[in-house]
Chains A and B, each alone.
Chain A
Amino acid sequence: MLKRALAIITLLIIGYWIAQGLAGVPFGQDRMLVGQYYLDHVKAQTGSVNAVTAIVVNYRGFDTLGEVTVLFIASTGVGALLWKRRKERTAKTEGSIVLTTGTRLLMPFIILFGAYIFIHGHLTPGGGFPGGATIATAFLLLYMAFTQYEIPHKAFEKTEGVAGMSYVLVGLIGLAIGGYFLYDWIWQTWGWGVNNIGRLFSGGFIPIIYTLIGIKVGTELSGIIDNMLKEEVSE
């Protein structure tokens, strides 16, 4: 009881402290400096309509490469922590008929929706990371519905590696053409899709990189799900 009271007092102090810190940051006022630059130039410089996507993939593409690396390290870490000599699915009860039928019907549409999210990343809210997570939920559904199901490991690992390497490759092509890593060669050198801003075929390399990220995130999260759901079996 004493511990709980102490915790609440600590929390109130911390809350007051954060609120004091935010007192100098009035809500809803225009404080943009760099943001305004991005908003003014995003269409001319990247061809993307969605400013958030343009910042994540184009202006700060190198950051995003680091972020993808963090996700890769996390999935490797999950694999290493949960490593066993022999792992199998040990679920005993089959999913109910609602779950199995629903999974069979919905599975392609969920993957289609995920692909839609990451292909249209430069036009609508979303992008590679939410799209990949959506695709991973389709595989999570399969795991929940069928006791014997496993993802095709070899194919998934290869797809993941190829997607990650292609991201670096796109950046290296930019280095060769424009002089710096992750230079947007499709937009700035070729000017491909200039008359098409706001439609699917525009945005330079943003749709390409987001497709690669979507595939990578989808396979990685499916791998994490697979690692967590399987259990050790004695030989």
Chain B
Amino acid sequence: MISAYYFGAISLILIGLYAVLVKKNVLKMLIGLSIMESGVNLLLVSVGYISGRSAPILSEGIGPKGAVDPIPQALVLTAIVIGVATTALALSAAIILYEKYGTLNVEEIRRLRG
């Protein structure tokens, strides 16, 4: 049986992918990408979780044996920042698309390009 955390993370990935596949508005596709990204981050962090242990901050009586795996958390910290950067780039591309074609609908953009 699959764990609830894995289930939630995979559901987030699938919801994001659904938006990317089905929606026609570029902004909605970008929102889908962001949701997917959150799902992947949640999946990574939950892979690093160890039952009954605490956050990897070794103070107040938490020793090296009482903390979860810090590496996935460090990776996710990196991934979040890169996600912000790519989202900003994608949004500016969307701004340019709107300025050029007057619409954010991908099908109409395809039609206007001819």
Contact = CB atoms under 8 A, between A and B. Distances in A.
B57 A82 contact: no
B59 A198 contact: yes
Given A29-B51, A39-B56, A49-B58, A81 B93 contact: yes
Contacts of A217: 81
B96 interface: yes
Given A14-B14, A228-B92, A50 B56 contact: yes
How extensive is the interface on chain B, given as a class?
Answer: 35 or more
Contacts of A105: none
B102 interface: no
Contact of B22 (A7, A23, A74, A221): A7
B50 interface: yes
B49 A71 contact: no
B19 to A, nearest CB: 10
A56 B22 CA distance: 37
Contact of B67 (A8, A19, A39, A63): A39
Interface in B68-87: 69-71, 73-74, 77-78, 80-82, 84-86
Given A18-B13, A60-B74, A133-B84, A28 B51 contact: yes
A129 B81 contact: yes
A169 to B, nearest CB: 22
Given A35-B69, A39-B67, A77 B92 contact: yes
Contacts of B91: 228
A124 B57 CA distance: 7
B103 to A, nearest CB: 18
B105 interface: no
B46 to A, nearest CB: 7
A208 to B, nearest CB: 18
A135 interface: no
B79 to A, nearest CB: 10
Given A19-B6, A39-B56, A81-B92, A55 B85 contact: no
A71 B85 contact: yes
B45 to A, nearest CB: 11
A70 B89 CA distance: 11
Contact of A78 (B17, B67, B88): B88
A7 B96 CA distance: 28
A10 B21 CA distance: 10
28 contacts: A7-B22, A11-B14, A14-B14, A14-B17, A15-B10, A18-B10, A19-B6, A27-B49, A29-B51, A32-B50, A39-B58, A49-B57, A50-B56, A50-B58, A52-B77, A56-B77, A70-B82, A70-B85, A71-B81, A75-B88, A78-B89, A81-B95, A129-B80, A129-B81, A133-B84, A198-B59, A227-B92, A228-B95
The list of the 8 closest CB pairs from A to B, nearest first, reads A74-B85, A27-B3, A28-B51, A51-B56, A51-B70, A39-B64, A35-B69, A55-B74
